[in-house]
Amino acid sequence: MSRNYRTYEPDQPLLFPPSVRDWLPEEHLAFFISDTIDALDVSAFDERYGDAGPGNQAFDPRMMLKVLVYAYATGTFSSRKIAAKLHEDVAYRVLGSDNFPAHRTISDFRKRHLPEFNGLFVQVVQTAHEVGLVKLGTVAVDGSKVKANASKHKAMSYQRMKEEEKRLRKEIRELMVKAKRADEQEDKRYGKDRRGDELPAELARRADRLRSIQAARQRLEARQREADREKGREPDDPDRTGKSGRPFKRVFGEPEAKAQENFTDPDSRIMKRGSSGYEQCYNPQIAVDEAEQIIVATTVTQSASDVQELEPVLDQIKETTGQYPDKTLADAGYRSEANLQMLEKKGVEGFVAMGREKNGETKEPNPDHQATCRMAKKMKTERAKKHYRKRKYLGEPPFAWIKSVMGFDQFSLRGFDNITSEWNLACLAANLKRMHRKLVWT
């Protein structure tokens, strides 16, 4: 008895529909991203291209932008993988419209237009605000460590740098002596007509290594000088007259022995990253609106601490939307007298934790810190506890979407300015996915 199967004729002449767009459902994310980008002002992307002749035609920035944003939204960050998907994936082919840029072209486009992604993120937030997806009633601010494109094994401590410099200088001197002896022997054997200025590869390698370590040490010392000045120290201050009357641990501008610098991405810093232990990281920040969990502001810091980022995030919300949120939720990492005074000055009602949530740790605030005392008193009320409970389902889920769902758990680029723009690109893609779900599927 023959079985009844659906028709399968792989050799028939027409397998595809008349338009490849027909293979995607009308509500597909690719269409939403394409329509949204068409509605935005992308003239800043055009301005980077000159009036090239017909032999030097670039790919349309709108096409490149749609492909790149869709790639981030669906968890593809490698330019090689994006280039491959333009041949293999229907959604990519729809957005590419029979354009197949090479992986180097995609990589160069991303690097060339990094500043423009910051402006594009702002436009998407403004669009969400205009269509009512952003209300600015309550905003949750949170931060999370994201791994840098650098290995912690390519870092070196300040103490180790000084030791390595000393060792390399000694080895270079010894190699120079050996090279001189070898030259003298060869001159006796072959005469002095040969060049004799060839630098031995072993010596050149050590010299390059020494220069790299010296540059890293100088960056560490410059950063320490800046930190010392912020604390009120000056180069000509006596080394043994701290504010407490006790001697300073180090002379002005000298880093701690354990202070580290990374050779792959010098802007990244060693940070504790959950159960992964210590990694080279950055600390991105987001502000999430309560209405539909749209990310309305972002910043990135090189510090493991969040405390300095509350005001920049709020100021970015004001700059983007024209107003501050009514209420702001933040965990104990943002607690400081200066931050609480800032919230009161800006007219933003803050709900800032006074201690760790998991074990209810709190300590009595300094009575001289009046704003902190007022916040501590307010956070004991039922109203404050009710508002603050929202923080867990407002501020934390977007990081889970970006890291776990989209797969963006490590930066592809290097350098503080570059990764700031890449973070805005990731948050832009996350916002478009959220807007697509709310505007198309509901």
Query: Among 262, 273, 309, which Cα is nearest to 144's?
Result: 273
What was the pLDDT predicted at 189? 65
Domain that residue 80 falls in: 20-112
Number of structural domains, the chain?
Answer: 3
Q: What is the pLDDT of residue 280?
A: 92
In a domain, 442, yes or no: no
Same domain, 139 and 222: no
Same domain, 300 and 411: yes
Judge if 31 and 108 occupy the same domain: yes
pLDDT at 182: 73
Same domain, 234 and 287: no
> pTM, whole model, 2 decimals?
0.83
Q: What is residue 417's predicted lDDT score, i.e. its pLDDT?
A: 94
Same domain as 244, residue 160: yes
Rounded CA separation 117/421 (Å): 6
Place of tokens 């503080």: 416
Do residue 411 and residue 296 come from a single domain? yes
Predicted confidence at residue 277, as pLDDT, reads 85
Return the pLDDT at 243.
54
Residue 282 and residue 268 in contact, taking contact as beta carbons nearer than 8 Å: yes
Residue 316 lies in a domain: yes
Q: Is 234 exposed, middle or buried (0-12, 13-18, 19+ CB in 10 A)?
A: exposed
Would you give the distance in Å from CA 79 to the centre of its chain? 18
Regions of the chain with pLDDT less than 70: 1-2, 5, 7-8, 10, 12-18, 50-56, 183, 186-200, 237-247, 356-363, 441-442
To 5 degrees, how large is the angle CA 103–CA 106–CA 112? 140
* Kind of pairing between the strands at 295-301 and 278-289: antiparallel
CA distance 209 to 59: 41
Residue 184 sits in the same domain as residue 194: yes
Last residue of a domain, one of 262, 295, 322: 262
